[in-house]
């Protein structure tokens, strides 16, 4: 376990020097981390055996909330936008989840898809409120009252996103170790037994669904202020599918998995477009197939296996 933590600390340190060592990666990683938050939310539901093909609506809700606050109220502080967007999407998630978590399997997946497409249609058609298919422009926010240039703000946003990733990862690990975290997994393995123990599966799932929506909203808000523009496509079903793919690719065995999957996907996509812009889909598809066939536990499984092998080798050296 110590080696695994050491690997994560080393990876975190490597990410921290990106703005200076490889500035072209800074924006890519900011978006990857933003989508990683949403993928963590999807992974949380996957632990309960539920697939959401509609979580992009919460990602979009967070992005549009940030845009509305800046444009309608004039409040433009970065931290206010992130907190408010997270809270608003948590409320939306609780309201939507109160109805959806009563369903399981394909019904849960399709209902999430249906609700998200209704949300997408509203964003596209309500031109006077959402800007329609043109979307809304998001001005550069201030940071604790300071007005920064776009380049300076992007660096600050990158480190804020990085810090939030570490905080969410730490809180996520504690959540999975808690009785509530174990109850989420128990719904997948034996929901009936959980009910016999006096634990309401509906309540557990509603809490998990609300948390997952809040995480997606946080990611959407980060993406909105980073890109500077929000569009209805944020809520489109392909984005929801992308989040599920990211969670599965990264692995749901640990909180770090979805973040690893998101960073991996964004880097492969950027490199593939740069190397062969006419065949980047082929490169992406081949890469995904290789990971799916040879890493059934996702990239997180590869990291944990490597850490276990290193730990075993060191233990053997100490015994000899």
pLDDT tens column, 252-284: 778 888 899 899 888 888 888 877 777 777 777
> What per-residue confidence (pLDDT) applies to 1?
65
The pLDDT assigned to 320 comes to 61
Residue 190 has a pLDDT of 81
pLDDT (0 to 100) of residue 239:
87
Count the neighbouring beta carbons within 10 Å of the beta carbon of residue 49.
Answer: 15
State the pLDDT at residue 300.
Answer: 81
Check residue 4 and give its pLDDT.
Answer: 75
Residues of the chain with pLDDT under 50: none
**Model pLDDT, residue 288:** 77
Q: What is the pLDDT of residues 139-172, one digit of tens each?
A: 999 998 888 888 999 999 999 999 999 999 889 8
């Amino acid at each position: 376990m110590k080696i695994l933590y050491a690997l994560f600390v080393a990876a975190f340190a490597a990410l921290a020097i990106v703005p200076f060592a490889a500035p072209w990666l800074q924006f890519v990683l900011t978006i990857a981390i933003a989508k990683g938050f949403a993928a963590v939310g999807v992974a949380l539901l996957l632990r309960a055996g539920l697939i959401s093909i509609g979580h992009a609506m919460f990602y979009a809700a967070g992005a549009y909330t940030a845009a509305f606050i800046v444009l309608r109220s004039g409040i433009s502080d970065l931290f206010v936008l992130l907190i408010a967007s997270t809270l608003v999407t948590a409320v939306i998630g609780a309201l939507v989840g109160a109805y959806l978590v009563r369903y399981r399997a394909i019904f849960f997946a399709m209902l999430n898809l249906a609700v998200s497409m209704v949300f997408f249609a509203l964003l596209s058609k309500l031109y006077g409120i959402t800007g329609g298919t043109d979307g809304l422009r998001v001005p550069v926010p201030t940071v604790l009252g300071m007005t920064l240039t776009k380049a300076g703000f992007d660096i600050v946003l990158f480190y804020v996103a990085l810090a939030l990733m570490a905080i969410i990862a730490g809180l996520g690990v504690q959540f999975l170790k808690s009785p509530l975290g174990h109850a989420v997994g128990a719904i997948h393995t034996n929901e009936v037994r959980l009910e016999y123990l006096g634990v309401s599966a509906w309540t557990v799932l509603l809490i998990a669904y609300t948390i997952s929506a809040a995480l997606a909203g946080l990611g959407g808000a980060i993406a909105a202020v980073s890109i500077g523009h929000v569009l209805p496509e944020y809520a489109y079903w392909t984005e929801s599918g992308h989040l599920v793919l990211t969670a599965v690719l990264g692995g749901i065995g640990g909180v770090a998995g979805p973040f690893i999957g998101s960073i991996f996907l964004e880097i492969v996509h950027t490199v593939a477009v740069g190397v062969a812009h006419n065949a980047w889909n082929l490169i992406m598809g081949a890469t995904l197939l290789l990971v799916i066939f040879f890493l059934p536990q996702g990239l997180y499984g590869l990291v944990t296996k490597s850490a276990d092998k290193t730990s075993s080798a060191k233990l053997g050296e100490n015994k000899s």
